[in-house]
Amino acid sequence: MSLASRRHLATLIVAATLATALPALAGTLPVAVDGQALPSLAPMLAKVSPAVVNISSTSHRRVEVNPFFNDPFYRQFFGLPAVPPSRVQTDESLGSGVIVNAHDGYILTNNHVIAGADDIKVTLTDGKSYTAKVIGADTQTDLAVIQIKAPNLTALPLADSAKLRVGDFVVAVGDPFGLGQSATSGIVSGLQRQDLRRSGVQNYIQTDASINPGNSGGALVNLDGELVGINSMIYSPSGASAGLGFAIPSDLAAEVMKQLIAHGKVERGTLGVDVQNLNPRVAAALGIKATSGALVTNVLPDSPAAKAGLKPGDLVTRVNGKTVTDAQDLRNAQGLATLGSTMVLGVDRGGQQLTINAKLTAVSDQAEGAALDARLAGATFDDVPSSGNGVEGVTLSKVVPGSRAARNGLASGDVLVGVNNVATPDLAQLRRVFALHPRVLLLSLVRDGQLLQLQIGG
């Protein structure tokens, strides 16, 4: 074969090779390599995506115009009205949600996505938007259920999150930064993560699938496209994903959702105890040989714990056969237990091992001021959040005109955020503060977006 013929043949071979490889060179992957199809999450995501929605909420709150106007001297000097001037500020929030019931239009999301919202809009993957109403919310687990009326919805099936293992592959689907729906993949990095918030029921799934602002309330799914968790929070020095994302397990979410749909709230029981972690210094001081457990520091009068015989100084080491390593373990056990159920407590009392049975009773979401302190007679305290502006406190749902509470300066709509410099984010903490029978009361209140302090003598 001549040199020219060999060159011509080589050119034809190169051309044929390029033609065969053209899809790969154009940025696409072949459908198979050595006869084996390449793995892809696309088929699974095609089924999951329609069930994940964008949630935008709008809330309004009144804020002060100028902090100087809070000073009575300035108001009097400038002839300003007795009530400091304020203006209405509009806050907007973006998040995600998961359709869990297509027929009734129920959507599971985070409480912090819709808390305090005056208007909630849900946008589907096809671009259609609907106004949603809140069915119920639970601050303890940071979960909420909202509802839309829309045809042909797609719902995600719930998996058994108790079967998750560290190392299982998961995918987070949501609407980060409001850019539109997107998916990120990773693995389960840890299970039963706790102590990530100051209070509440905590049993998080940790994942390195990227979760960013706007992903809150979105879906964490397994490779079968089943919901294993509701993306809730991240740990990050910058505010963006650092590989430490946390999701609420679907098992916990399912139980909360049932109660929210049935009652609009979660009915929980309580033992009526205050507990703290056991550390070596406390253990040595009390002569406790154990190295872990929940140390009882206070037992509320007439509580299930008091009736069962639990005492301050007792160390709870087991609940219903499960080891209690710290105070959060016991709080979680209470928060996850069914109202009216009996908790079997393993207790170490001065080296003596006891078994104590305590039946959980309902936690009232209201308290009368007179029952807390005579100086608050006429006020009704409510354990329902007043707004979504980040204020954690107990709402004064009613103050009887002319009552002692009214004469002491309290008003309906006030949010009591602290007593004697102790935060009171809920009724349980408020009751603990007043159980000490303080002689002088310094009440920290939020009224119309402004922080006030009232001092009430004995």
Going residue by residue through the chain (458 aa), what tens digit of pLDDT does each one get? 554 554 544 444 444 443 444 444 344 556 666 666 667 888 899 999 999 999 888 876 555 555 555 555 555 555 555 555 555 556 666 789 999 999 999 999 998 888 878 888 998 988 899 999 999 988 888 899 999 999 999 999 999 888 889 999 999 998 877 677 888 888 998 887 876 665 567 778 899 888 877 788 889 999 989 999 999 887 766 666 667 888 999 988 998 899 899 888 887 778 888 888 888 888 888 788 888 888 988 887 778 888 888 888 899 989 988 888 888 788 878 877 777 888 899 999 888 889 999 988 876 667 788 878 889 988 998 876 544 455 678 888 889 998 999 999 999 888 998 898 888 887 878 887 887 788 888 899 888 778 888 888 76
Same domain assignment for residues 167 and 129: no
Specify the pLDDT at position 229. Answer: 92
User: Is the same domain home to 254 and 174?
Assistant: yes
Buried b (16+ CB within 10 A) or exposed e, 389-422: bebbbbbbbbbeeebbbbebbbeeebbbbbbeee
Tell me if 3 is assigned to some domain. Answer: no
Residue 213 lies inside a defined structural domain of this protein: yes
Q: How far apart are CA 415 and CA 396, in angstroms?
A: 6
Whether residue 31 contacts residue 38, with contact meaning beta carbons closer than 8 Å, is answered with: yes
Residue 394 lies in a domain: yes
Residues 170 and 231 in one domain: yes
Q: Judge if 140 and 184 occupy the same domain.
A: no
Residue range(s) defining the domain that contains residue 412: 366-456
Same domain, 447 and 384: yes
pLDDT of residue 108: 94
Q: Domain end: 125, 147, 169, which one?
A: 147
Pair 176, 255 in one domain: yes
pTM listed for this prediction? 0.63
> What CATH number is associated with residue 289?
2.30.42.10
In a domain, 26, yes or no: no
287 and 240 in one domain?
no
Tell me how far apart the 2 most distant CA atoms of the chain are, in Å.
Answer: 115
| Boundary (domain end) residue, out of 230, 263, 296 | 263
pLDDT score, position 273 = 83
Name the domain count of the chain.
4
Give domain status of residue 299, yes or no. yes
Active site residues: 112, 142, 216
3-class SS of residue 387: coil
* In a shared domain, residues 102 and 174: no
Tokens of residue 180, six digits: 């539109």
Q: In angstroms, rounded to a whole number, what is the distance separating the alpha carbons of residues 188 and 174?
A: 17
* 436 and 390 belong to one structural domain: yes
| Residue 451 identity (one-letter amino acid) | L
- Structural domain includes residue 241: yes
Domain end among 228, 248, 263? 263
Instruction: Judge whether 218 and 230 are in contact, CB under 8 Å.
Output: yes
353 with 432, same domain: the answer is no
DSSP 397-430: EEE-TTSHHHHTT--TT-EEEEETTEE--SHHHH
User: Given this model, what pLDDT does residue 15 score?
Assistant: 42
Q: Contact at 8 Å (CB) between 404 and 342?
A: no
Same domain, 227 and 180: yes
126 belongs to a structural domain: yes
Count of beta carbons in the 10 Å neighbourhood of residue 213? 18
Task: Please report, for the domain that includes residue 210, its CATH number.
Answer: 2.40.10.10
Distance (Å, rounded) from C-alpha 274 to C-alpha 295? 8
Residues 374 and 353 in one domain: no
Does residue 6 sit within a domain?
Answer: no
